[in-house]
Every structure is written in structure tokens, then in C-alpha cells.
Structure 1
Amino acid sequence: MAKKSTIQTEKVNTYIVEWLKNYANKAKVNGFVIGISGGVDSAVTSTLCAQTGLSVLCVEMPIHQAESQVSRGREHIEQLKKRFPNVSNIETDLTETFESFKKAVPQTGEEAKISLSLANTRARLRMTSLYYLAGIHGLIVAGTGNKVEDFGVGFYTKYGDGGVDVSPIADLMKSDVYALGEFLKIPDSILTAAPTDGLFGDNRTDEDQLGASYDELEWAMLAAASGKTGADFTGREKSVFEIYKRLNTNNKHKMDPIPVCVIPEMLK
């Protein structure tokens, strides 16, 4: 079901690095700030940014984070700092901030909705921290979303990890990101780890939340783009296609421009 990546990794790498460098120079900024999660997307994005030669600030922002995620993130940062002298890092532990927020807001209602809202709050606290650091260091925030997440199923937090200045890998499928990660020699611990957003303080994976793997969702995204419908499939393929279409429809509000109420000229 999965589509094997066919991108020309070396050429794609060079293209993205030049794109980032040109954008930063035109924007007259010093470089990039990136949240490091211990996942492949942030590892690839930070390595692409590092190759520009501009300042790159890698930020760890744990909030009751699983030790495995923390250790993978630190392994990547240490490797990156050894390879690129323009890379620095900082840890901003937001656990206490998150707990203070929980005490300040009401927590009455459906438990599942509260849990999801708090998970999204984690992402928004991290976004706020990245923009604070970007502001004081003259940097821009580099996003880590891939094509399946950003334009397929909308698997990100609006104004959280979706709040960025540039999106270097948002036109790459997840399989492309892995291919680029192998080319860039991202740590094996990251390349082999099950993807997770780490927003719930437990061990649930992205697949647990989405109901399908990225390989499956990538297949469904390509199938939908070619004009296929659920009626064209049976069994697991049909289930995955329906999962993709449901998520794509429900999360359109994230992927489409913010609706603007345009006042008719006759009323102005």
C-alpha cells in the first residue's frame, strides 16, 4: 500500500537549503529556531536549516515528556552541534507553565474534550516559546510539518505546531522525509522510532490517534488526488481511504485560509 519515495535526495536537500538561505537573507534575519521533539520531521528540518550556515537554535520544550522522546531529541542535537558550528541549543521546560495554566482554567465538561484541548495547549505553549526566542535572537520559526500532516489529514495544532514562518518539508510525503533523513544521517534511534506527537504525556503513537499508518495515509492521499472514491476499494484499503477522507474533511478549517467576511460594496 505504501509508495516508496522516489525523490532525488541529494538534489532535494540542496534545493531546500538554498530556498531557506534565500528566504532568510531576504527577510534579513539571523537564522532559524526549531522545536526538537525527538521525531524525524524536526530532525530533518533542523539539519536542513543547519546546512544554510546561518544561526540555528534547537529548542527542547518538555511538558511531562516521555524519557525516550527526550533522549532521542538530545542525541540528535548533540550530533548536529558536532557537525555544524552554527547550531546551538536551549531547553525550556514548560511543565510548570502547563500545570499553572491547568489550574487557571475551568476543567468541567467531557473528559475527552478536555484532554484534547490540553494537548493542543501544550503545542500552543511551545509555539509561544519559539516565537519569544525568535524575537530576541532575530530568528524565524521553521515548521516541521510534512505534506501528509499539513495538507492531507491536518494532523497538527492550529496556532500550535501549525504556527510557523517557513515550512521547509511541507511538500514532502512522510516517506520522502524518511528518505531525506537517511541521506542526512539522522540517528537510527529517530529513524526507527514510531512517530508520536507527544502531546498527551503517554506512549500513544500517531497511528494510534489517526487509525492508520503514515504509509497508509500517504497511499490514500495519492488515491484521493487521482480521483478515487471509497467505492473503488474493499477491506483495509477501503477503511484507510475512509479514515483519510474523514480527517481531510474534518480538518479543512486548518488547511484552508481563514474565512474573511467580505462586506459587499453596496454596504460600504
Structure 2
Amino acid sequence: MNSINPEKTAAELTSFIKNAFDKAGFTKAVIGVSGGVDSATSHELTKRALGEKNVFPYFLPYEKIKPIVDQVVSLDPGMDRLRQGNIMARVRMTILFDQAKKRQALVVGTENKTEHILGYYTRFGDSASDIEPLRNLYKTQVYQLAKYLGIPDKILNKAPTAGLWEGQTDEGEFGFTYKDADEVLFQLYDLKKDNVEGVDPGVVEKVKSRVSRNAFKHSLPILPFDY
């Protein structure tokens, strides 16, 4: 797995954000922050690009959106927690885009390359954004960048979670670590290898299986001429 030059990457992404906003004709940004490393990193880069006064972070844990989520869940009392988690993600998306409209701003996303390839996101929920600064960085590379940017240790050391239910963690859902996932994905997608080396074969199959199951998410909406 390749390491990044965090200083160079920070400069490039800051410039990317600034240029993208200039081209789109916007000066303000709205971003959902969760207390995790991805949103903290994306938030810091956006502040550097646009200036802190032009960036509006929204922390939307379940407690804040409970009345809205509970109303939707009440329509189907037997709803499982995965469906409830998807509703939470879509409620957050609705709030962020509404606030962006109010402020004449763009919504800045927080998705990394690992999550994107694995399909680890809610369609039209946490995947919805106007700009994705971290999409080309694997999770382990985001940590390298975050450390350079001065993101606090309490965030760097926190177990990654989508905050969908109590005790939920990304790696607990996966059944493998981000470190292993990044190594597998890097060899398959960046090095174009047919066989992954240095990772337990069982883990490799788990990663490949998740990628395969969620591949359809990258081609939505499905159009007639796709077939």
C-alpha cells in the first residue's frame, strides 16, 4: 500500500476545492461532521480552501434527528436496524442539502476511496454531495493526511463508525480491517494484480465479495442503453 506525501496532497486538495467552488460560482460550503476522521479531514481542507467563516458544519447524531426518523420508522414498525440506518443517512442528507440551499452553498462530502469501492454507503444518503475531496484516497491514506493536518488524536484513535446504531463500527460490519481492505483494493485496482499477496485469502475473498455485491451502486440510475 502506497503512502502519500501529506503536505503535497493537502495542497492539491485545498486547491481542488477552491477551484471547484470558483468554477461552480459558490463561496460557501455545508458539511456533515460525525466526529470521525473522514469528516474532520474534509472539513479542515474545506476551511483552508474557503476560509472558516464560509464553511458551515452540521453535527447530526440520532438524538438531533430522532423526531423525523421515528416518524418514518413508525410507518413500518417491523423495520430492521439496517433500514433504519439508511433512513437516518437520508434524513441527514435532506437537512444538509436544505441548509446548503438556504445559504447558497455546496454540500461537501466525506467519502473515501475504500468506502466507495466497497459500496459502503447509503444510496442517496451519505453518498450524496456536490463535491468529494477524499474520493481518491484510501482510508489509511486519509489517516496519514489527517495526522498532517493536525486532526486531534481522539478522532484519529476513534473506531470508524457510520453512527447508524449503538455500538456499530465499520470494521465490525465488514469482518475485516480497513488496513487489509486497502491493501487488497490497492493491489487489485491500482496495481491491476490478478492475485493479492500478503493478505489472508479468506479476507481477500470477503473484500472481493463485498465489492461484487455493491458494484451496482456505481452505475445508478440504470438506463435503457446500459443493456
1:122 matched to 2:92? The reply is: no
2:27 and 2:50 in contact (8 A); partners too:
no
**Distance in 1 of aligned mates of 2:218 and 2:175:** 20
SS where residue 259 of structure 1 aligns?
coil
What is aligned with 2:108?
A: 142
Structure 2 counterparts to residues 201-220 of structure 1, below 5 A: 202-220=166-184
Give, in angstroms, the shift of residue 61 of structure 1. Answer: 0.7
Provide Cα deviations, 1:111-165, integer angstroms capped at 9, x if missing partner. 6xx22111111000000000000000011111101001012x1111110000111
**Distance in 2 of aligned mates of 1:102 and 1:204:** 19
2:123 and 2:217 in contact (8 A); partners too:
yes
Give, in angstroms, the shift of residue 224 of structure 1. Answer: 2.4
Which one of the candidate residues 3, 6, 22 is aligned to 1:6?
A: 3
**Distance in 2 of aligned mates of 1:183 and 1:158:** 31
**Distance in 1 of aligned mates of 2:76 and 2:3:** 49
Structure 2 counterparts to residues 42-53 of structure 1, below 5 A: 42-53=39-50
Which one of the candidate residues 95, 101, 117 is aligned to 2:66?
A: 95
Structure 2 counterparts to residues 248-259 of structure 1, below 5 A: 248-259=211-222
Give, in angstroms, the shift of residue 19 of structure 1. Answer: 0.8
* TM-score computed with the length of structure 1 as normaliser: 0.79
1:198 matched to 2:168? The reply is: no
**Distance in 1 of aligned mates of 2:213 and 2:136:** 21
Identity of aligned residues (%): 30
* TM-score computed with the length of structure 2 as normaliser: 0.92
Q: 1:263 to 1:166 in 2, by over 3 A?
A: closer
Letter in 2 for 1:196: T
Q: Which deviates further from its counterpart, 5-14 or 253-262?
A: 253-262
Structure 2 counterparts to residues 154-173 of structure 1, below 5 A: 154-173=119-138
What is aligned with 1:15?
A: 12
What is aligned with 1:78?
A: none
2:26 and 2:105 in contact (8 A); partners too:
yes
**Distance in 1 of aligned mates of 2:136 and 2:225:** 31
SS where residue 251 of structure 1 aligns?
helix
Q: 1:227 to 1:140 in 2, by over 3 A?
A: same
Letter in 2 for 1:47: E
Give, in angstroms, the shift of residue 30 of structure 1. Answer: 2.3
Give, in angstroms, the shift of residue 233 of structure 1. Answer: 6.5
2:111 and 2:135 in contact (8 A); partners too:
yes
Give, in angstroms, the shift of residue 263 of structure 1. Answer: 10
Q: 1:15 to 1:263 in 2, by over 3 A?
A: closer
Provide Cα deviations, 1:209-255, integer angstroms capped at 9, x if missing partner. 011110010011123233334xx669x61111111111101101212
Give, in angstroms, the shift of residue 43 of structure 1. Answer: 0.2
What is aligned with 1:106?
A: 76
Q: 1:228 to 1:262 in 2, by over 3 A?
A: closer
Q: Which runs of 5+ in 2 are unaligned?
A: none
Provide Cα deviations, 1:157-178, integer angstroms capped at 9, x if missing partner. 1100001111100000111100
2:112 and 2:139 in contact (8 A); partners too:
yes
**Distance in 1 of aligned mates of 2:94 and 2:163:** 17
**Number of equivalenced pairs:** 223
1:246 matched to 2:209? The reply is: yes
Q: What's the RMSD between the two structures over aligned residues?
A: 1.9
SS where residue 162 of structure 2 aligns?
coil
Letter in 1 for 2:6: T
